[in-house]
Amino acid sequence: MDSFSVSVVIPVWHEAAGINERIAHVFQRAAEADVPPAVEVIVADGDPEATTLAAIKHVGVISVKSPQGRAVQMNAGAARATGDVLLFLHADTVLPVRAFDLIRNVFEKSTPAKSSAKAGAFTLSIASDSRFLYLVSMLANWRNRLTRTPYGDQAQFFVRTYFEELSGYAPIPLMEDVDIMRRIRGRNEPVVIINSPVSTSARRWETEGIYKCTLRNVLLRLLYGAGVSAQTLSNWYRAMKG
């Protein structure tokens, strides 16, 4: 990949308090790269009142109003992107040092495995001192490497033309991250998982309860793997969350 530009798509819902910090973080990671890429940041807000977009102070950020739903928002952001690579970053996830160099290396044609790769993600870590959540992240990483199905909070990335070829994320209420990786596996095409970890916030676990949240997530993923539709799971998710 001779040229290297990255569109970072951040889907948001009521993230006004932290959005400027996250945008600054992306630009900092780009600036510290050995080979700094051209980076554009796209924030896709699913809030009808667009409260997160209204809070953005950084000049040049592309603001996108979208119907609610992470898959729909990410697709809406991707539709505005011009970068060679699309990086989908959750608002509560922090990229590792040299993240953009690491992504670029995935697409450098230095080995047969890398030369055919068009999609990938980072290893997972959870920003918590909890030993239980450390175990959760370790088990998730083991599963991810076995199945090559990394989650969305691992900062999935794609060559933009490849993402378009895949028709983007399925417009389903959840499991869109699993679905797109399964489609890639169904094509017998590689997914690279970078060893360096992103750090994702533990706020979901802390808000809902560490054990309850973990058990619910495991149950939903098992049911999805067993063929239960994403819409049915979404209904159950809302019921369990309530």
Q: What is the pLDDT of residue 2?
A: 58
Q: Residue 62: inside a domain, yes or no?
A: yes
CATH code, domain carrying 182: 3.90.550.10
Q: Residue 19: inside a domain, yes or no?
A: yes
Distance spanning both ends of the chain, measured CA to CA:
47
Mean predicted confidence (pLDDT) in 209-228: 86
Q: What is the pLDDT of residue 242?
A: 55
Q: For the chain, what is the domain count?
A: 1
Predicted model pTM: 0.92
Q: What is the pLDDT of residue 240?
A: 64
Q: Residue 161: inside a domain, yes or no?
A: yes
Q: Residue 163: inside a domain, yes or no?
A: yes
* Range 225-233 contact pairs with CB under 8 angstroms and sequence separation of 24 or more: 230/170, 230/172, 230/173, 230/174, 230/175, 230/176, 230/179, 231/172, 231/173, 233/173, 233/174, 233/175
Give percent above pLDDT 70 in the chain: 95
Position 158 confidence tier, pLDDT thresholds 50, 70, 90? very high
Q: Residue 228: inside a domain, yes or no?
A: no
Question: Tens digits of per-residue pLDDT, 61-119?
Answer: 999 999 999 999 999 999 999 999 999 999 999 999 999 999 999 987 544 455 588 99
Chain Cα centroid distance, residue 213: 19
Mean predicted confidence (pLDDT) in 167-174: 95
Rounded CA-CA distance 154/121 in Å is 6
Q: Which domain holds residue 82?
A: 5-202
Q: Residue 147: inside a domain, yes or no?
A: yes
Mean predicted confidence (pLDDT) in 43-47: 97
Q: What is the pLDDT of residue 14?
A: 95
Q: Residue 212: inside a domain, yes or no?
A: no
Q: Residue 218: inside a domain, yes or no?
A: no
Rounded CA-CA distance 43/135 in Å is 32
Q: What is the pLDDT of residue 241?
A: 61
Give 114's DSSP letter: H
Instruction: Copy the structure tokens of residue 150.
Output: 């990394």
